[in-house]
């Protein structure tokens, strides 16, 4: 469906009226789709807003004017009581905020003021998950033994994820033409929010990529393919990570996002400045990286505690 057709649908919905919650949610989703947001983001918004709409329907709330700050707080409490952790609740809060801020623009602040402005977001946990352990990654890479297509592909894939910090969806969308071996870089065409950027890899990853590509017999433009020469899927990626972790004797296999976390933490620990890392990871702001940075500061505290020159003086 073209952007023009999507815009036309949006206008029809607006004509029908945004006072109904279900209509306004559909208009929001259609507008975001027309704006070029990724299918993953659209799906995230849809899942969160449909859940909110069902909660409202159970309370006989069907119109936008009935949604106030107190109702939003009740919903966040409901999420907590039904087993949603703080990260999940924060995600639902962000989806509601995006929706209500969009309504402000569509209706005008004179007509509508987002009640979520009065609601504080759920607190996120201070402790950030470490990400993939480098020793575990080494063991997983070692498990990719041999010179078969699958072994060389999986080795290159593991190294690429750790070396670039690219998201799983970004990695799987890369085409062969996006690689530049002279610059050791890959062009991310479909980043989060439709943003494009370059990611980089080192000599070891380049050698692994070259070895893998020499085994390719297909004409698929995708960088990562399966045994049938078809573009690798997220299911295939997750299955590969579980298989290589099992072969390496790792009981808790790291996810693709754990590799991204490991990239960020190890770059910071190696002295990379936070603004450069923000660009490499494709973050729109420093919110997430501040949490990583706080974790590396605690690393410094631990290091000082162990190696304090004064504490090591003999009595």
Please, are residues 143 and 241 in contact by the beta-carbon 8 Å criterion? no
Residues 108, 140 within the same domain: no
Domain identity same for 76 and 140: no
Tell me the average pLDDT of the chain: 88
Conformation bin of residue 229: beta by default, left when phi > 0, alpha when psi is -120 to 50: left
Backbone angles phi, psi at 185, to 5 degrees: -140, 165
Q: Is residue 294 over pLDDT 80?
A: no
> The domain spanning residue 201 has which CATH number?
1.10.443.10
> Are 111 and 143 in a shared domain?
no
Contact in structure between 38 and 194 (CB atoms under 8 Å): yes
Instruction: Name which residue leads in pLDDT, 193 or 156.
Output: 156
Give the single-character DSSP code of 110. T
Q: What is the pTM of this model?
A: 0.68
C-alpha to C-alpha distance for 221 and 15, rounded to whole angstroms: 43
Mean pLDDT across the stretch 123-150? 88
Beta-strand (E) ranges in 159-306? 179-180, 185-188, 197-200
Give yes or no: residues 245 and 188 share one domain.
Answer: yes
Q: How confident is the model at residue 290 (pLDDT cuts 50, 70, 90)?
A: confident
Report the alpha-carbon distance of residue 130 to residue 294 in Å, rounded. Answer: 12
Highest mean pLDDT: which of 6-20, 35-49, 218-232? 218-232
For residues 66 and 139, membership in a common domain is answered with no
- Cβ proximity of 258 and 168 under 8 Å: no
The crossing angle, in degrees rounded to 10, of helices 21-34 and 39-58 is 180
94 is in which domain, residue-wise? 3-118
178 and 276 both lie in a single domain: yes
Asked if residue 108 and residue 207 are part of one domain, the reply reads no
* CATH of residue 63: 1.10.150.130
∠ Cα 303 264 287 (to 5°): 100
Q: What is the pLDDT of residues 69-126, one digit of tens each?
A: 999 999 999 999 999 998 899 999 999 999 999 999 988 888 889 999 999 999 877 6
Which residue, 118, 149, 172, sits at the end of a domain? 118
Rounded CA gap, 249 and 102, in Å?
48
266-271-272-273 Cα dihedral, nearest 10 degrees = 130
State how many domains the chain has.
2
User: Does any domain span residue 64?
Assistant: yes
């Amino acid at each position: 469906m073209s952007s023009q057709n999507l815009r036309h649908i949006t206008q029809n919905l607006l004509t029908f009226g945004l006072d109904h919650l279900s209509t306004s949610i559909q208009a929001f989703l259609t507008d975001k789709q027309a704006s070029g947001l990724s299918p993953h983001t659209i799906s995230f918004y849809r899942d969160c807003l449909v859940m909110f709409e069902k909660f409202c329907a159970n309370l006989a709330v069907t119109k936008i004017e009935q949604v106030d700050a107190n109702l939003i707080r009740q919903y966040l409490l409901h999420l907590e009581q039904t087993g949603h952790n703080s990260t999940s609740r924060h995600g639902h809060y962000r989806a509601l905020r995006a929706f209500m801020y969009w309504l402000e623009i569509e209706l005008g602040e004179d007509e509508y003021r987002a009640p979520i402005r009065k609601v504080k977001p759920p607190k996120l946990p201070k402790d950030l998950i470490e990400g993939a352990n480098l020793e575990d990654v080494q063991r997983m890479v070692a498990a990719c033994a041999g010179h078969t297509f699958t072994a060389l592909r999986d080795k290159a894939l593991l190294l690429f994820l750790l070396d670039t910090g690219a998201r799983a969806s970004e990695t799987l969308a890369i085409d062969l033409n996006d690689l530049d071996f002279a610059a050791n870089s890959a062009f991310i065409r479909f980043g989060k929010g439709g943003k494009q950027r370059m990611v980089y890899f080192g000599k070891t990853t380049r050698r692994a990529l070259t070895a893998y590509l020499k085994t390719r017999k297909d004409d698929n433009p995708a960088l990562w393919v399966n045994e049938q020469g078809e573009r690798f899927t997220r299911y295939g990626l997750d299955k590969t990570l579980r298989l290589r972790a099992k072969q390496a004797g790792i009981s808790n296999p790291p996810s693709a996002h754990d590799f991204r976390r490991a990239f960020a933490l190890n770059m910071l620990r190696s002295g990379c400045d936070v603004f450069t890392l923000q660009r490499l990871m494709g973050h729109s702001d420093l919110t997430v990286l501040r949490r990583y940075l706080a974790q590396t500061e605690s690393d410094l505290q631990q290091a000082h505690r162990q190696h304090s020159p004064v504490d090591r003086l003999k009595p």
